[in-house]
A and B are shown apart, each in its own frame.
Chain A
């Protein structure tokens, strides 16, 4: 059976904010672009972003303050050259999205409205009610469609073509009928999103299985800062679905079972609007000390009743609806139940500030780029500030699109051949024919539960040593799976198995990187090393996987700048 080879100037995997934005940028300049996505573009998880997108637009705010808040929020692990670039370009980026059609909420004078968010010196989050990501995703997709980008929706990107230090294409199959294809291009971009789906309680979409990370890692390419997983303070109790930081930004108060506003003890100045890692640890600590609420005592209250029905209906209507649907609680009338939920991936494919993927600390991969949550630029360091992720995806999506445009004429097309699909073919064949006794949902559940238990908000050496062994064991058991569906039409049984394989691989990166980082910084909190250790760990982790699946770690300097490293308090 022959596999068709399609040739494009650029191929982008992922059709969320970063992918669609980059595609439009290239297509507008006359390049032929394919975007491959395992969903329909409008189903991408960018659309789930609720609260806002940061830019220092107002006279009371400044670019420098935005930079400072971001660097401080990152616990000084962010690369300051990248942060400066993003913050400087933020106002223009948001206004450009507005010009393309984004339906932002407005001030009375017609300008874009902004609201306060955690860890910020000024109300800086531009918003569209509580569905900011939705309007932005729609807008960039619509304009990319208008410009004629080829979207290959419901195609699963299974591998990259990587030879001699260069990436020259993507190997994929059509989820609808298992038709296979090779996408040959001079430039390839990954914009495949985050990896919080490896945790039991998470805010992420089913699709966020971090495929892009493992695809890259299996070729021996590095992943950066994978230990930094952000736990968002306000996931709905039970299923982890997100209640936006806008709820705290608009004035929500956190209360424990004694009715105490406990943030007074953890962050007396910023209270509920301290950085996310600080608030999440406070919540989990309250629950651990027996002051949790709800039927399982595994949550705390967020009380919004004092805001009144009018403000809640105007600014937080979707959030109210979510709490009614999943908890049966109306935030206008009563406090609702929340707890920390795995939310955002600070780590990812290491790139420079222009989106070039790193081969190691000093060299780059030819023709390979990444942007959005899958990338580690790093603008978020050890902890991302609320409303900076949408900004990152939108700004770097566009910026890296421009980088590709600049590079593309200097790159050569390495012609692909049918053998480039061998790895994908072998992977599909192995899963479809494996006749073992393990079940994918069972293994995935064990992985997710153990990651939450052993590599979650609070970490120790003992728990993580245990988790390394467990992930390795699960990887062995994964070789002995059997799936029910052997057919070609919309075989999501097969897809979930491939995705689990990815989750297992990158989870080992998370745990090995976390085990070696013997300090507490941002979202990575070690109960056995409770303070930040700048002397030994003001460094990015660069992790590599060898053919045997073992991880080795190196470290890379952080790009420091005008915002001096200092103690971080809220």
Chain B
């Protein structure tokens, strides 16, 4: 960009405005500006405040994607304002853009949301290394490069909250700890120096609040500006609970186990049997109307027609060598 000439184009912004002290309902204010090819979304927020209306509020600090303060939404897409180029936004959405807070439900002033629920959940997973801290050590703990890579970059999470407020489970279930908190729990569980995995698994394994209520929609992975990939960490936490025999027998864990059974048996996924195994012989009945519709459209394979993978022997050996579950 900087090698070529700087270009400009006219963009119209619809900006979410709300002051919880004085406004009953939020509203949108329209502002049209010349946007240069050098600018990021945060430059626009700054210009709205500095050139148009000083009462416009948003959080920001580092302005290079490391402090996590400036998460907002542009046309519904969660972005870190300081790291999102305007040209890319215009490329995606055109020259009329809507700027919203990450959660209008939590908005207290314009882009500023009350993040209490986010921080409470962050603190709930014991987000610190649990170990007796040697206060005057002569040597560091030895951690091999391979062991340090086991964190899978989860330590790069900057707590911006984008995944938290993009998560559809959080939206309907206040108890759910959410992808950022789970990524943090994983960050310490995966650390060879940590001794708190029992406590943390106890916390994230709870029905309702914990990892089993994740619906695996991948929104968190999609929205993360640091590519932390929270769902990958949630899956790792699933594995940790199985490995430790801590998994509680419920519909979500049985879904995982049923998946494994199907693969072991057929080398392929038997979806009907998966539902039966997860929900139980009684629970499965509530899905009968859907099943009939699917069957009519040829979407259901009958048990006696279930094909088998031609590499089934190899698959069975793999499953046997990696599975620890008892139910």
> Known: A43-B67, A45-B62. Contact between A98 and B5, CB under 8 A?
no
Q: Which of B123-131, B216-224, B268-276 contacts A (4 or more CB under 8 A)?
A: B123-131
> Known: A108-B144, A142-B128. Contact between A103 and B63, CB under 8 A?
no
Q: Which residues of A contact B4 (CB under 8 A)?
A: 295
A326 within 8 A of B: yes
Check B19 against A493 for contact (C-beta < 8 Å).
Answer: no
> Known: A42-B158, A441-B51. Contact between A146 and B128, CB under 8 A?
yes
> Known: A43-B62, A205-B62. Contact between A92 and B2, CB under 8 A?
no
B28 within 8 A of A: no
B210 within 8 A of A: no
Q: Which residues of A contact B50 (CB under 8 A)?
A: 441
Closest CB of chain B to A237's CB: distance in Å? 6
Give chain A interface residues in 78-114, CB to chain B under 8 Å.
Answer: 92, 94-96, 98-101, 103-112
User: How distant is the Cα of A20 from the Cα of B39 in the complex, in angstroms?
Assistant: 34
Give chain B interface residues in 166-187, CB to chain A under 8 Å.
Answer: none
Q: Which residues of B contact A45 (CB under 8 A)?
A: 61-62, 67
User: How distant is the Cα of A460 from the Cα of B228 in the complex, in angstroms?
Assistant: 49
| Closest Cβ neighbor of A337 among chain B residues | B2
Q: Which residues of B contact A103 (CB under 8 A)?
A: 148, 151, 155, 191
| Closest Cβ neighbor of A134 among chain B residues | B66
| Closest Cβ neighbor of A138 among chain B residues | B155
> Known: A100-B129, A142-B128, A146-B128. Contact between A485 and B54, CB under 8 A?
yes
B140 within 8 A of A: yes
| Closest Cβ neighbor of B149 among chain A residues | A106
B327 within 8 A of A: no
B156 within 8 A of A: yes
B33 within 8 A of A: no
Say which residue of B67, B112, B138, B144 sits within 8 Å of A48 (CB atoms).
Answer: B67
Check A238 against B2 for contact (C-beta < 8 Å).
Answer: yes
Q: Which residues of A contact B64 (CB under 8 A)?
A: 48, 241-242, 322, 326
Closest CB of chain B to A80's CB: distance in Å? 24
Check A43 against B69 for contact (C-beta < 8 Å).
Answer: yes
Say which residue of B1, B126, B140, B188 sits within 8 Å of A327 (CB atoms).
Answer: B1
B255 within 8 A of A: no
Check A329 against B2 for contact (C-beta < 8 Å).
Answer: yes
A552 within 8 A of B: no
Q: Which residues of B contact A96 (CB under 8 A)?
A: 133-137
Give chain B interface residues in 10-69, CB to chain A under 8 Å.
Answer: 19-22, 38, 40, 49-51, 53-55, 57-58, 60-69
Say which residue of B2, B67, B188 sits within 8 Å of A47 (CB atoms).
Answer: B67
B6 within 8 A of A: yes
B288 within 8 A of A: no
22 intermolecular pairs with C-beta atoms under 8 Å apart: A39-B67, A43-B69, A92-B137, A92-B138, A96-B137, A99-B141, A101-B191, A101-B194, A110-B144, A112-B140, A134-B66, A142-B127, A205-B67, A321-B65, A440-B54, A484-B54, A484-B55, A485-B57, A487-B21, A490-B108, A490-B109, A493-B54
Q: What 12 new A-B contacts, CB under 8 Å, besides A47-B67, A295-B4? A: A43-B67, A96-B136, A99-B141, A107-B145, A110-B144, A206-B63, A237-B2, A318-B66, A329-B2, A439-B54, A484-B54, A487-B22
